[in-house]
Amino acid sequence: MPKMISEKQKEKGLRDFYNALSKDYDKKHAKRFCDDVLEFFLLKYLPKKRKLKILDAGGGIGRFSFPLAKKGHEIVLTDISEGMLENARIIAKSGKIRNVRFVKESLSSMKNQKSKYFDAVLVMNAILDYCGNHKKALKEIYRVLKPNGILIGNVNNRFMYSTNHELKTGDFKMFNRNMKKGDRYIIWGGAKTGHISHEFTLEELKNSFKKTGFKIITILGVFNLLGKYAEETWLDDKEKREEYLKLQIKYAQKEEYINNSWDFFFTCKR
């Protein structure tokens, strides 16, 4: 991994990475099982019985924005990647989804967003891991949320990612380094270059929220059975997929298995 990389360089690496993947991202990653699990818990903890102003920060192609927009919520979808935003606009237009505003910006510096404006902010699929500075990002999220506003999202579990990557390849030095620091250079999705990801321990995640002023509502281990990227062929069977979804939802809510999960799902209140 590159040494002494700046926040600006991290964001450039992330932007370039997703711009490269953006053209066919919806075709390759639109029907992931892990997103079905996340959507269940997102809808469970999102305030009900009223229309909300929701910021989907780092929302990509709108996997979570568009279902919420269809329910009548007012959505602002932001992303650092021009390519992902353009893809999202095309999907929204084809689906005749109108109550979504698209903004190109960094999560660490949301200059386009008003203070105390949103009822909920979403940071789904490890956006806090990927942004240039998660401490700045949390402060910005706190700023744009209304009092008692809700933060919902998920981050990578450092223990699971380090044991399933560096430890599996026998790179003990890198395993120990990543477990201590939490930063790693990742490449996936067929990309030629990658980006920096900061993975969290459970204790670090809790402390990050508390230091920013958030009150933790819940933290769950949402992918503690077959992992986040389950590829079992029987998942193509609709009935088995639905049965497994129920099973994962059940075990995600068991506190004793939280550190067996690839991700921590969280809900916090401002």
Report all structural domains of the chain as residue ranges with CATH numbers, in order of start.
Answer: 7-157+198-269 (3.40.50.150)
Kindly give the pairing relationship between strand 183-186 and strand 263-269: unpaired
Residue 3: predicted pLDDT = 60
Q: What is the pLDDT of residue 28?
A: 76
In angstroms, the Cα distances linking 241 to 50, 163, 227, 248 are 31, 27, 14, 10
Whether residue 220 contacts residue 252, with contact meaning beta carbons closer than 8 Å, is answered with yes
Check residue 214 and report its DSSP letter: P
Instruction: State the 10-residue block means of pLDDT for the chain, 270 residues long.
Output: 74 91 80 93 95 97 96 97 95 94 96 97 96 95 98 97 92 94 88 91 97 97 93 92 96 96 98
pLDDT at 46: 97
Q: What angle do CA 246, 254, 30 make, to 5 degrees?
A: 45
Element of type H or E holding 55: strand 53-57
HSE-CB of 169 using CA atoms within 13 angstroms: 8
Q: What is the C-alpha separation between 187 and 63, in angstroms, rounded? A: 21
| Residue 63, both tokens | 């996997």
Q: Are 90 and 158 in contact (CB under 8 A)?
A: no
Select from 159, 270, 169 the least CA-distant residue to 210: 270
Cα–Cα dist 91/26, whole Å: 9
Cα–Cα nearest to 137, from 168, 177, 110: 110
Whole-number pLDDT of residue 135: 96
| pTM attached to this predicted model | 0.94
